[in-house]
C-alpha cells in the first residue's frame, strides 16, 4: 500500500514539474492546467506572488492575470482614476473601493510598475513546492524531479566557428554532465532590449558533439 501511495505522489509530482518547467504558451493546454492548479491552490499561490499580481488574480482570476502579464508584464502601465476605465483598458474588473487602494501606489506620472511574466511564474513555482511538501512528498522526490533550462542572454553567446565553440557550448560541456535533463540556450548576434521569453525564436539550443 505504501508503494502505491508513493507512486501516486511521484506521478503527481511529475505532472507538477511538467507544468512548471517553463512559461506556458497562451491558450495552450498547459496554461489551462496551470490555471486550474492555481485556482485549486488559490491561497498558497496568492500569498507568494507580487502584491499587484495577487490583486489582479483576486478580481480577474488567474486566467485574467496571465492574460494581463502576457501583454503588460514587466512594464509600467497607465492607471486611470476610475476603476471602470481600468477595466475597459486592461480587462480586469476591480471594485472602485479596492481600486482606490491600488491607485495610491502610482508614481508622480500616473503609472504603476507591474511584475514580469517570470516574476509571477517563479512565485507560482515556489508555491507549488510548498504545496508538495505539505502533502508529505519526500524531499528526495522533489529534488530528483526538479529541472530547469539555462538561457544565456549575451551578445553572440550561441555563435561559433569551425575552430571555436560558442560561449553557450563551452558552458554546456561543463554543465551537462550533472544536469542531463536541462537544456542550454543562447542567442546569435547582438543582444539588445528586454530578455526574450523562453518561447522566443531567438533562443538557440546548443548541444555540441563530443569528439
User: What would the pLDDT profile of 24-77 be if each residue is shown by its tens digit?
Assistant: 778 888 888 889 889 989 998 999 999 999 999 999 999 999 999 989 988 999
Residue 69 contacts residue 114 (beta carbons within 8 Å): yes
- pLDDT category of residue 4 using cuts at 50, 70 and 90: very low
42 part of a folded domain: yes
Domain that holds residue 176: 147-211
In a domain, 49, yes or no: yes
Rounded CA-CA distance 130/149 in Å is: 21
Does 68 map to a domain? yes
* Residue 179: φ, ψ to 5°: -140, 65
**Structural domain count of the chain:** 2
62, part of any domain: yes
- The answer to the question of residue 108 being in a domain is no
Q: Would you state the pLDDT for residue 2?
A: 47
Is it the case that residue 104 has pLDDT exceeding 90?
A: yes
Q: Which of 104-108, 119-123, 166-170 bottoms out in mean pLDDT, i.e. has the lowest?
A: 119-123
Question: Is residue 125 a contact partner of residue 63, using CB atoms and an 8 Å limit?
Answer: no
Please provide the average confidence, as pLDDT, over all residues in the chain.
Answer: 83
Q: What is the pLDDT of residue 114?
A: 93
Q: Is residue 143 exposed (0-12), middle (13-18) or buried (19+ Cβ within 10 Å)?
A: exposed
pLDDT the model gives residue 1: 47
Q: What number is the average pLDDT over the span 125-135?
A: 79
Is the residue at 136 inside a domain?
A: no
Distance, in Å, from the CA atom of 20 to the CA atom of 161, rounded to the nearest integer, reads: 35
In a domain, 126, yes or no: no
The alpha helices in 77-116, defined as continuous H runs, are 83-90, 96-103
pLDDT of amino acid 179: 78
Picking from 100, 119, 138, the residue at the C-terminal end of a domain is 119
pTM assigned to the model? 0.64
CA distance 64 to 94: 12
User: Would 57 be classed as within a structural domain?
Assistant: yes
CB 206 within 8 A of CB 158: yes
Amino acid at each position: 500500500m505504501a508503494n502505491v501511495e508513493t507512486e501516486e505522489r511521484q506521478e503527481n509530482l511529475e505532472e507538477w514539474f511538467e507544468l512548471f518547467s517553463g512559461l506556458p504558451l497562451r491558450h495552450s493546454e498547459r496554461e489551462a492546467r496551470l490555471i486550474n492548479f492555481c485556482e485549486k491552490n488559490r491561497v498558497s499561490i496568492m500569498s507568494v506572488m507580487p502584491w499587484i499580481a495577487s490583486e489582479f488574480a483576486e478580481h480577474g482570476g488567474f486566467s485574467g492575470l496571465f492574460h494581463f502579464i502576457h501583454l503588460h508584464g514587466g512594464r509600467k502601465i497607465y492607471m486611470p482614476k476610475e476603476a471602470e476605465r481600468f477595466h475597459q483598458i486592461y480587462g480586469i474588473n476591480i471594485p472602485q473601493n479596492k481600486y482606490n487602494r491600488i491607485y495610491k501606489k502610482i508614481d508622480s506620472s500616473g503609472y504603476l510598475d507591474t511584475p514580469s511574466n517570470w516574476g509571477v511564474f517563479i512565485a507560482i513555482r515556489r508555491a507549488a513546492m510548498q504545496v508538495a511538501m505539505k502533502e508529505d512528498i519526500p524531499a528526495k522526490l522533489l529534488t530528483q524531479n526538479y529541472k530547469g533550462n539555462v538561457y544565456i542572454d549575451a551578445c553572440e553567446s550561441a555563435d561559433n566557428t569551425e575552430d571555436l565553440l560558442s560561449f553557450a557550448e563551452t558552458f554546456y560541456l561543463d554543465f551537462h554532465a550533472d544536469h542531463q535533463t536541462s537544456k542550454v540556450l543562447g542567442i546569435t548576434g547582438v543582444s539588445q532590449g528586454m530578455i526574450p521569453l523562453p518561447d522566443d525564436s531567438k533562443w538557440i539550443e546548443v548541444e555540441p558533439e563530443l569528439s
